[in-house]
């Protein structure tokens, strides 16, 4: 058993009609075969970097503990449950694409390359970006 102080797991139920929409019909691919989306949350009132490191480590311990019970190859995740531990974009052009692919396949699975093409066509200067944006190609 894992004992942690401030980690909360939120289970959002899936299934039913979610299974009827093909994974490539929208950017959101997490449909067929998924019973839940699990959101890991942690809050604390203690101040300082030591407390922050302690609670973030607790969250990572829970994430590792759950590995046996969740999706694999890749371990998928939902973009709105942002997780910088799975990677951030570094560089631009092909380097941005390569680093973006690491987290992009977890968020978008087989839709990632299609979304890169759309982003490149619609926002070629990458004006709308964050540390886990869909990258643009040169």
Task: DSSP letter for 41, please.
Answer: E
Could you give the residue ranges of the DSSP H alpha helices within 1-138? 49-65, 93-108, 112-122
Query: Looking at 14, 40, 63, 81, which residue is catalytic?
Result: 81
The SS3 assignment for 7 reads strand
Catalytic annotation present for 68: no
- Output b/e per residue, 101-122; b: 16+ Cβ within 10 A: bebbbbbbbebbeebbeebbee
Instruction: Tell me whether the omega of the peptide bond preceding residue 97 falls within 30 degrees of 0, making it cis.
Output: no
Euclidean distance between CA atoms 35 and 18, whole angstroms? 10
Long-range contacts (CB closer than 8 Å, 24 or more residues apart) made by 119-122: none
The SS3 assignment for 5 reads coil
Which positions are catalytic?
A: 81
């Amino acid at each position: 058993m894992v004992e942690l102080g401030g980690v909360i797991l939120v289970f959002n139920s899936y299934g039913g009609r979610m299974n009827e929409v093909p994974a490539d019909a929208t950017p959101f691919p997490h449909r067929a075969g998924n019973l839940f989306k699990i959101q890991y949350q942690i809050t604390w009132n203690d101040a300082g970097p030591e407390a922050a490191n302690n609670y973030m480590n607790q969250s990572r311990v829970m994430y590792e503990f759950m590995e046996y019970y969740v999706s694999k190859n890749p371990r998928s995740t939902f973009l709105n449950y942002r997780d910088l531990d799975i990677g951030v974009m570094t560089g631009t052009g092909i380097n941005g694409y390569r680093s973006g692919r690491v987290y992009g396949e977890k968020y978008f699975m087989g839709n990632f390359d299609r979304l890169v093409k759309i982003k490149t066509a619609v926002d070629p200067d990458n004006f709308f970006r964050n540390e886990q944006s869909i990258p643009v190609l040169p």
